[in-house]
Amino acid sequence: MIEIFYKENGQMMVSQSEADFATIPYDSVIWIDLFAPSGEEKRAVESFLGTTIQNRAQAEEIEISSRFSETEQAIFANTSFLIPGPDEYTEETVSFILTDHILTTLRECPLKSFTDLQRRLMAFPKMYESGHVAFLSIMEQRVDLDADMVELVSKEINQYNRKVSVGEDISEEFLIDINLLQENTMRIRENIIDKQRVISSILKSPKYPKEYHSRLNVLLKDISSLINHTDFGFERLEYLQNTVLGIINLDQNKIMKVFTLVSLLLMPPTLIASFFGMNVKFGCFFSGSGWAWVVIMALMMVSLAVIFWVFKKRRMF
């Protein structure tokens, strides 16, 4: 799918056919959005712009030379956009090509930042004089969405903290949830840093108009703030994870302590019962009497009481 946004008599127009390149003036085009395009649509855009468009494999490479590059005709920038899911986030690589005053974007899935820009282009055409402004608008909207994700993660961390504070049951699933939240936090941080690298590279480019450098600098400050928030959130998750592991260890120690004390309490009575239960003859004054079991039970209870008193006095339980 292709959408070509261009100005005509001061109004923003949109075309969804690559065949319209033959009638649309080059200087009037603001933004070309390629959404899961066909080969014909890509070739038509390349012919119109006079430059090549990176394929998806090249756009997804992590080398800085692949994330940002320049030629005599264009600026190429690739970055990842996070898409929130019910359990985890997925990444979508987006390519930006800036040629003269035209912004060209290449993506494979719908993104809220692009939908919002399309609405603003049609509602406020005077605000978008070139593709450079459209690029800034997408990045500013994307950073705002990243900030919302960081805020959502922070709220989830607070919820887990409250669960630990009120003494809710902590199970294996609780630790798995914390680990998943850690993974999401790291992915958000990596995604934000990726945008920081791209915007820093564009800021250094002589091809990008200097009148927009102030907005780029504001974006970098916002991104730095988000990175600090994600670092703090990750530290909180590590502290929370250590706290949960400590609580689990304490509970296990309490269980082992109970088993150990019960074993120690029963050792003297067991020894007495074993002694009198031996199948040998020995000279006890009550040997063979009918009430001998009463004496043996009394000795067992006395030994149990003595051991219990010793443990109690030493505060062993």
Q: What is the pLDDT of residue 221?
A: 93
* Cβ neighbours for 175, distance < 8 A, ≥ 6 positions apart: 241, 244, 245
End-to-end CA distance of the chain: 73
Tally DSSP H helices, then E strands, for the chain: 8, 7
Q: If you search the block for the tokens 């998750």, which residue do you land on?
A: 237
Using N-to-C axis directions, what is the helix angle for 131-165 and 172-204, rounded to 10°? 160
Question: Of 271, 260, 269, 270, which is closest to residue 316 (Cα–Cα)?
Answer: 260
Strands (E), the chain: 2-8, 11-15, 29-35, 68-70, 74-83, 90-99, 102-107
Q: What is the pLDDT of residue 218?
A: 93
Q: What is the pLDDT of residue 133?
A: 92
User: Strand 2-8 and strand 29-35: pairing?
Assistant: antiparallel
Q: What is the pLDDT of residue 169?
A: 67
Contact by Cβ (8 Å): 37, 106: yes
Give the three-state DSSP class for 165: helix
Q: How far is CA 233 from CA 133, 143, 163, in A?
A: 33, 18, 17
Other Cβ atoms less than 10 A from the Cβ of 250: the count is 10
What's the rounded Cα separation, in Å, for the pair 78 and 96?
6
Q: What is the pLDDT of residue 217?
A: 93
pTM for the predicted model, two decimal places: 0.75
Task: List the pLDDT tens digit at each of the 317 positions of the chain.
Answer: 899 998 888 888 888 888 888 888 888 999 999 998 888 888 898 888 888 877 666 555 555 455 788 888 888 888 888 887 776 778 888 889 998 889 999 988 888 888 888 898 888 888 888 889 999 999 999 999 889 888 988 888 888 888 777 766 677 777 788 888 888 888 888 889 888 988 998 888 888 888 989 999 999 999 999 999 888 888 888 888 787 777 777 777 777 877 777 777 778 777 777 766 665 555 555 555 666 667 777 877 888 788 777 777 777 66
What CATH topology corresponds to 2-248?
A: Beta Polymerase; domain 2 (3.30.460)
Contact by Cβ (8 Å): 267, 219: no
* Long-range Cβ contact pairs of 74-79 (< 8 A, separation 24 or more): 74/49, 74/98, 74/99, 75/99, 75/202, 75/205, 75/207, 75/208, 77/198, 77/201, 77/202, 78/54, 78/198, 79/194, 79/195, 79/198
Joined together, the tokens standing for residue 278 give 């031996």
